[in-house]
């Protein structure tokens, strides 16, 4: 025994370290035994509790991992003996345990990875469960890493376990036909964890190193378990090389430092060598390069350049061109624009970036205006660049990045002669005394979208019909006729008030199509409830709309304090909204301990430029109320595969027939 003389705090630190290293193997081995990942984790936790109780007195064992494994397996055998359903399997399992090597099957951890990253789970649940089961992190640690409430993380983990059990997901490795898709899901989860640590989407700091380290550990572990998968080594190489730049990515005050300005002497040479080694392994496996190998090849180009000026941007641009053919996402195309701008001049990059302004998926992506700002500044179009940096700052949820973008904008002098801006005009328009509250909210949605898409500082006299049309295409191109017409009327009212020409004149009023207002039939509704990967918020909203027959606006206006879960109803204005068992099962999970604020919350906290009214802000999470516009967009996107016309359904079509 090596720990008898350690102080209590030292023993606890040792237990914590051992648990993080061994928990994945223990849980994986138990899952193979009991075929239930939730039960397996409970049994593993029992072993951890035993260690916390015994090791401070007896000392840390020579092989702590084996000690924990033995205790956990004993608890598993005891459970099997007590279970009448599994009584007949007891002798077989006990015999297998006696014959098996102490460390169990090496593929168990790989099976656990495929299980926790199963496509049947929503992305946020895959991430939470993976960090819990394979990272050994507590719910509190995961919540701190993602700046979320601990009850939210607990709910996600519990929901994931329940879904895996309800769906009967087997604890086995996928076969050849399914392997590529399932492996891609595992890689995506690991890289998502890494990216959230490398470029935090919210909070005060640019990075969360603990998430980067955990993703690297999981990637290295996966590479050991699946050594013949080139994309696994490609992902590891990509993360090693990106992580090597971590120390140089921030300045003394935590501010971001752009890649071409980084002190390359601070790059971690050990991580670079590890990245190169992983890349060599990926190439040795052979086969056509996948997305992660191509991204790793781009990272290799950066790591090989002694100075920023030595970077082979033409090769990087060509690699992005290949990547864009293989993975034609808007973000890849935006990175291609950056590379083109560096390789062939800012005009080439701006030409590609400008094409992306019509892509609905990038309309609130802060890096698009940030990239455009860089390119415009290099072209000498300084005032346009300043407005783009300010627009990017209004879109990001990260405080350090927002401050950095504001500094970039401040470095460009504002026009000497102040002009009336779109933001100021919109605020003055909405402050009128002759508008009631409902009209202000309706007009405010339209003008907020214009301001987000075009920038607060856009001179009002430079606003064009073409710009307005582009916003309409990206924001409401697939919206219902009533939604399109409502926003069109708001723009016309704003133009009349501001003495502008009618900038919506070229946008035809849409006629409602009767066939689009028909309700969704039972077969497609059943398919809707069983769509994989639907977030809990959306599923609850859809169920509530269907079961209550209430209007979309009414349901979205509900607050947590209005709910009566026992009676399955909520006060709404002067009446009640009621629901049935489907909604009743989902609502407690959605609330996750919340007692006040909007029932349905937006995806993230609002930026300073779009602060909601106090009634539309959750005091517990800081997030605003989910907007009709966003809810409609998400529903249309999710139901496109179910709609024979391929357009997707509207939320109003959730009302039951008859």
State how far the alpha carbon of 144 is from the alpha carbons of 95, 137, 141, 151, 493, in Å. Answer: 43, 11, 5, 12, 46
pLDDT for 89: 53
pLDDT at position 201 is 64
pLDDT for res 206: 65
The one-character DSSP state at 401 is H
Rounded distance between C-alpha atoms, residue 295 and residue 300, angstroms: 9
Both tokens of 274, joined, read 């590890």
pLDDT of residue 611: 62
Q: What is the pLDDT of residues 458-468, one digit of tens each?
A: 999 999 999 99
Residue 416 pLDDT greater than 80, yes or no: no
HSE at residue 346, side-chain half, CA atoms within 13 A, is: 12
CA angle 57, 63, 66 (to 5 degrees): 100
C-alpha–C-alpha distance, residues 78 and 90, integer Å: 10
Between the ranges 15-29, 39-53, 114-128, 445-459, where is the mean pLDDT highest?
A: 445-459
The CB density around residue 179, as the number of other CB atoms within 10 Å, is: 14
Give the closest residue to 308 by CA, choosing from 264, 347, 349, 272: 264
Is the per-residue pLDDT at 656 higher than 70?
yes
Question: In the chain, what percentage of residues exceed pLDDT 70?
Answer: 91
**What's the mean pLDDT in 7-36?**
78
Do the beta carbons of residue 146 and residue 111 sit within 8 Å? no
Is residue 453 over pLDDT 90? yes
Alpha-carbon distance of 614 to 612, in angstroms, equals 6
Kindly report the backbone phi and psi dihedral angles of residue 598, in degrees, each rounded to the nearest multiple of 5, phi listed first. Answer: -60, 140
- Give the span between the Cα atoms of 150 and 123, in whole angstroms: 18
Q: pLDDT tens, 476-526? A: 988 888 889 999 999 999 999 999 999 998 899 998 755 445 788 888 888
List strand residue ranges (DSSP E) for 36-92, in order: none
Q: pLDDT value at position 438?
A: 81
State which H helix or E strand residue 402 sits in. Answer: helix 399-410
Contact 494, 447 (CB under 8 A): yes
User: What are the pLDDT digits (tens) for 336-379?
Assistant: 999 999 999 999 999 999 999 988 888 888 999 999 999 999 99
d(CA 211, CA 219): 12
Residues 557, 592: Cα–Cα separation, whole Å: 19
- What digits encode the pLDDT tens for the residues 576-625? 999 998 899 999 999 988 889 999 998 876 655 456 678 888 888 888 89
**pLDDT above 50 (res 562):** yes
The predicted pLDDT at position 252 comes to: 86
Rounded to the nearest 5 degrees, what angle is found at the Cα of 528, between the Cα atoms of 523 and 531?
125
Residue 445: count of CB within 10 angstroms of its CB: 17
Confidence (pLDDT) at 382 = 95
pLDDT tens digits for range 156-205 = 888 888 888 888 888 888 877 678 788 988 998 999 889 888 876 666 66
- Strand ranges for 113-243 from DSSP E: 202-203
Q: How many CA atoms lie within 13 A of 569 on its CB side?
A: 8
Q: DSSP letters along 583-616, please?
A: HHHHHHHHHTT--SSBSSB-SSPPPGGGPPPGGG
Mean pLDDT, residues 92-97: 51
pLDDT at 606: 67
Distance CA 77, CA 84 (A): 13
Distance CA 332, CA 353 (A): 11
Among residues 575, 556, 569, 533, which one has the least CA distance to residue 615? 556
Whether 8 shows a pLDDT value over 60: the answer reads yes
Per-residue pLDDT of 57-71, as tens digits, reads: 788 888 888 888 888
**Spatial CA neighbour of 194 closest among 243, 244, 133, 266:** 243
Least confident of 64-78, 284-298, 308-322: 64-78
pLDDT at 98: 47
Tell me the average pLDDT of the chain. Answer: 86
Q: Which pair of structure tokens corresponds to residue 327? A: 């993975």
Q: What is the pLDDT, as a whole number, of residue 657?
A: 60
| 397 φ/ψ angles, rounded to the nearest 5 degrees | -100, 0
Displacement of CA 47 from its chain's centroid (Å) = 33
Tell the burial category of 102 from Cβ atoms under 10 Å away from its Cβ (0-12, 13-18, 19+): exposed
Closest CA to 374 of 363, 362, 388, 364: 388
Look at residue 564 and give its three-state secondary structure: strand
Write the pLDDT tens digit of every residue in 134-160.
Answer: 888 888 878 776 767 788 888 888 888
CA angle 587, 593, 599 (to 5 degrees): 50
Q: What is the 3-state secondary structure (H, E, C) of 136-171?
A: CCCHHHHHHHHCCCHHHHHHHHHHHHHHHHHCCCCC
Q: Is residue 580 within 8 Å of 547, Cβ to Cβ? A: yes
77's enclosing H/E stretch is helix 64-82
pLDDT level of residue 233 (50, 70, 90 thresholds): very high
Instruction: State mean pLDDT over 227-245.
Output: 95
CA–CA separation, 391 and 398 (whole Å): 14
């Amino acid at each position: 025994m090596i720990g008898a003389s350690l102080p209590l705090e030292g023993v606890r630190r040792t237990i914590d370290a051992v648990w993080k290293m061994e928990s994945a193997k223990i849980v994986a081995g138990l899952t193979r035994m009991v075929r239930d990942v939730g039960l397996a984790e409970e049994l593993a936790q029992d072993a951890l509790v035993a260690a916390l109780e015994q090791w401070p007195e007896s000392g840390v064992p020579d092989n702590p991992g084996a000690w924990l494994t033995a205790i956990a397996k004993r608890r598993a055998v005891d459970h099997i003996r007590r279970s009448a359903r599994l009584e007949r399997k007891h002798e077989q399992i006990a015999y297998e345990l006696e014959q098996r090597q102490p460390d169990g099957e090496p593929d168990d951890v790989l099976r656990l990875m495929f299980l926790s990253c199963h496509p049947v789970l929503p992305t946020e649940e895959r991430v939470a469960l993976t960090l819990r089961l394979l990272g050994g992190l507590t719910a509190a640690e995961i919540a701190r890493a993602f700046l979320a409430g601990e009850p939210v993380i607990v709910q996600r983990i519990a929901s994931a376990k329940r879904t895996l059990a309800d769906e009967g997901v087997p604890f086995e490795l996928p076969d050849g036909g399914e392997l590529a898709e399932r492996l891609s899901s595992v890689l995506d989860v690991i890289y998502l964890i890494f990216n959230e640590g490398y470029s935090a989407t919210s909070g005060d700091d640019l990075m969360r190193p603990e998430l980067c380290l955990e993703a690297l550990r999981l990637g290295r572990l996966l590479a050991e378990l699946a050594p013949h998968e080139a994309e696994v080594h490609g992902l590891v190489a990509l993360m090693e090389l990106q992580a090597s730049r971590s120390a140089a990515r921030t300045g003394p005050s935590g501010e971001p430092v752009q890649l071409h300005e980084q002190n390359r002497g601070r790059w971690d040479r050990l991580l670079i060598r590890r990245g190169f080694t992983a890349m060599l392994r990926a190439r040795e496996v052979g086969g056509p390069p996948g997305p992660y190998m191509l991204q790793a090849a781009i990272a290799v180009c950066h790591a090989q350049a002694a100075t920023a000026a030595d970077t082979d941007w033409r090769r990087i641009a060509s690699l992005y061109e290949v990547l864009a053919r293989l993975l034609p996402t808007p973000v890849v195309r935006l990175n291609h624009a950056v590379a083109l701008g560096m390789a062939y001049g800012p005009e080439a990059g701006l030409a590609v970036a400008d094409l992306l302004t019509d892509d609905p998926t990038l309309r609130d992506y802060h890096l698009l205006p940030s990239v455009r700002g860089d390119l415009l500044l290099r072209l000498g179009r300084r005032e346009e660049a300043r407005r783009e940096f300010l627009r990017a700052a209004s879109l990001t949820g990260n405080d350090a990045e927002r401050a950095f973008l504001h500094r970039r904008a401040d470095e460009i002098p504002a026009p000497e002669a102040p002009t009336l801006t779109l933001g100021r005009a919109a605020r003055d328009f909405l402050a009128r005394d002759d508008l009631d509250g409902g009209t202000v909210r309706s007009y405010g949605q339209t003008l907020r979208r214009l301001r987000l898409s075009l920038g607060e500082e856009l001179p009002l006299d430079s606003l064009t019909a073409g710009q307005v049309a582009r916003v309409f295409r990206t924001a409401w191109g697939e919206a219902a006729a009533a939604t399109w017409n409502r926003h069109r009327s708001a723009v016309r009212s704003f133009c009349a008030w501001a003495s502008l020409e009618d900038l919506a004149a070229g946008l035809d009023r849409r006629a409602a199509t009767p066939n689009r207002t028909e309700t969704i039939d039972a077969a497609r509704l059943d398919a809707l409830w069983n769509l994989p990967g639907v977030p809990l918020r959306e599923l609850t909203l859809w169920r509530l709309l269907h079961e209550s027959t209430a209007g979309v606006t009414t349901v979205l206006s509900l607050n947590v304090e209005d709910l009566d879960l026992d009676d399955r109803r909520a006060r709404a204005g002067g009446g009640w909204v009621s629901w049935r068992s489907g909604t009743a099962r989902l609502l407690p999970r959605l609330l996750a301990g919340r007692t006040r604020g909007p029932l349905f919350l937006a995806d993230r906290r609002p930026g300073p430029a779009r602060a909601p009214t106090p009634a539309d802000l959750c005091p517990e999470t800081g997030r605003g109320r989910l907007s009709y516009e966003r809810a409609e967009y998400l529903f249309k996107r999710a139901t496109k595969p179910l709609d024979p016309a391929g357009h997707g359904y509207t939320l109003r079509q959730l009302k039951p027939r008859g």
